[in-house]
Amino acid sequence: MEIFVKSKDSIVKFLFLYLWVFASAYAEIYTAYTEQLPPYNFLKDGKIEGKATELLKKMLKKNGDALNGQIQFGPWAKGYQSVLNNKNTILYSTARTRDREFLFKWVGPIDILTIGLIAKKSKKIVIPNSDFLHHYKIAAMYETAAESLLFELGIKPDELDRFTNIYTQMRKLHEERIDAVAFSIESMKQFILEAGLNPDEYETVYVLKESELYFAFNKDTSESQIDSLNKILKTLKQEK
């Protein structure tokens, strides 16, 4: 009888180990890329934080997946190209635009943000329609939704002051070396404060679009995986 119990315990332990190995074999390991886009994703005291960052971690955990080390924080264009060309990668927070629709697989939305142009009030910039955009020197970050929206409105690349570092453009805007910056309005307000500037001196002069933010997955991610993650994200958002 004692031998039978020991054997039974061994079988149970073996089954648990087998199931764990089986589940692990089907878990996905992702590399995630992000940038400075408060309040959704941002670097603070050496840690990547924000609403979208927390949602991503919880969502993957509930789906039995994991991140491959630390989230990669850096230039948007670099992360964008990495997720375009490498399997099991994620870019966030990403505006879901028409030209990107079939480049990625989408999990979301996370939230809605306003993409537009911010300028100094003292410049007294008035843009009644998109034709007037050609009259001003506008800064836009490479590979962002803001840049894409400007291109759709007929702005040529050589008309823009294209950049990779938002803080450099904040200095240019303050010193009036450019007329406006095209970016997330919500994030720009935070950048103005972080740069030690007076937010009362700046205003939104043109709205390009209100866009939904998503987690953009490499296009080779399976539909079943995307469906599962979308269901989990929906549940997580309802719990808040």
Which pair of tokens denotes residue 212? 């939904």
**Alpha-helical regions (H) of 153-213:** 166-174, 185-194
Nearest to 134 by CA among 146, 150, 123, 114: 150
Backbone angles phi, psi at 178, to 5 degrees: -135, 165
d(CA 229, CA 240) in angstroms, rounded, equals 17
Domains plus CATH for the chain?
2-110+215-239 (3.40.190.10), 113-212 (3.40.190.10)
**pLDDT tens-place string over residues 70-93:** 999 999 999 999 999 999 999 999
Two tokens, residue 178: 């450019």
CA-CA distances (angstroms) from residue 102 to 97, 98, 130? 10, 8, 26
The radius of gyration computed from the CA coordinates of the chain, to the nearest angstrom, equals 23
Q: Is the pTM of this model over 0.75?
A: yes
pLDDT digits (tens, 9 = 90+) for 181-213: 999 999 999 999 988 999 999 999 999 999 999
Nearest by Cα to 192 from 115, 105, 120: 120
